[in-house]
Amino acid sequence: GQNIDQPTEMTATEGAIVQINCTYQTSGFNGLFWYQQHAGEAPTFLSYNVLDGLEEKGRFSSFLSRSKGYSYLLLKELQMKDSASYLCAVSKAAGNKLTFGGGTRVLVKP
Amino acid sequence: GAVVSQHPSWVICKSGTSVKIECRSLDFQATTMFWYRQFPKQSLMLMATSNEGSKATYEQGVEKDKFLINHASLTLSTLTVTSAHPEDSSFYICSAKQEYSNQPQHFGDGTRLSIL
């Protein structure tokens, strides 16, 4: 089976930086995804890591360490619109199935 | 970019009704699509993998006869919730991945199902 853990909630101030950690245990690892989901909407793709290291995309960066089963999503220069749930998902090699963590609700305060 | 369309967005119906939800890949072919369910303040739970031209693969605990999946073409998968009851009320989301590409799964906009 797969265990994917991430914090339930985080609060941060507008303009600040927030780091959302995700740990996982899985067999047949084929990559880790981060999605953003606003309330009542479908998830939107943010980033994908399959090799160790940091992937940067504008204000969002994602890091992966396969040996540690660990990833984080870094949100810089937080804006009010970044208030959402952030979902960590692991893909297995067979079938490209995604297994999601419980999601982290981020609240950005002025 | 790749777009997935899901219809309808909202369904409100009486207990015992069967409800069909459609998931279409608009500008790419998808031999595999995925159906998820999401309860309030919870994450997405994979229900089944829809395979074009063959039977769907259901996750443990998901009733095959309750949630009928048909993937008759390379761009369309349907999920039918049969004899729906209030406990089936949830947010149902489909996703699809473009074959032979490094693109991630793209999600439909979801269907909010409310059973009275």
Residues B67-112 pLDDT 10s: 999 998 889 999 999 999 999 999 999 999 877 766 788 899 999 9
* Rounded Cα–Cα distance for residues A81 and A32 (Å): 24
Partner B, chain A 74-93, Cβ-Cβ below 8 Å:
87
Residue of A nearest to B108 (CA): A42
Strands (E), A18-103: 18-25, 29-37, 44-49, 53-57, 60-65, 70-75, 84-92, 98-100
The chain B residues in contact with chain A (CB within 8 A) are 6, 32, 34, 42-46, 49, 57, 91, 93, 95, 97, 104-110, 112
Tell me the HSE value of B102 on the side-chain side, using a 13 A CA sphere: 6
Q: Burial, B41: exposed, middle or buried (Cβ in 10 Å; 0-12, 13-18, 19+)?
A: exposed
Q: Burial, B58: exposed, middle or buried (Cβ in 10 Å; 0-12, 13-18, 19+)?
A: middle
Q: Does A34 touch chain B (CB under 8 A)?
A: no
What was the pLDDT predicted at B19? 97
Residue of A nearest to B43 (CA): A102
* Residue B107 CB contacts under 8 Å (≥ 6 apart), including other chains: A35, A42, A43, A44, B4, B93, B94, B95
What was the pLDDT predicted at A51? 93
The partner residue sitting opposite B32, judged by closest CB among A40, A96, A102, is A96
SS3 percent helix, strand, coil of chain B, rounded to 5, is 5, 50, 45
What was the pLDDT predicted at A38? 94
Query: pLDDT, tens digit, for every residue of A72-92?
Result: 999 999 999 999 999 999 988
> When comparing pLDDT for B97 and A53, which is higher?
A53
- B110 to A42: CB separation less than 8 angstroms, yes or no: yes
B104 vs A contacts (CB less than 8 Å): 33, 45, 48
Task: Enter the tokens of residue B15.
Answer: 């207990």
Whether residue A1 is predicted with pLDDT greater than 60 in this model: the reply is no
Q: Does A48 touch chain B (CB under 8 A)?
A: yes
Evaluate whether A71 touches A88 at the Cβ level (below 8 Å).
Answer: yes
State whether residue A40 is helix, strand or coil: coil
Task: Enter the tokens of residue B4.
Answer: 């997935």
Average pLDDT over residues A32-48: 93
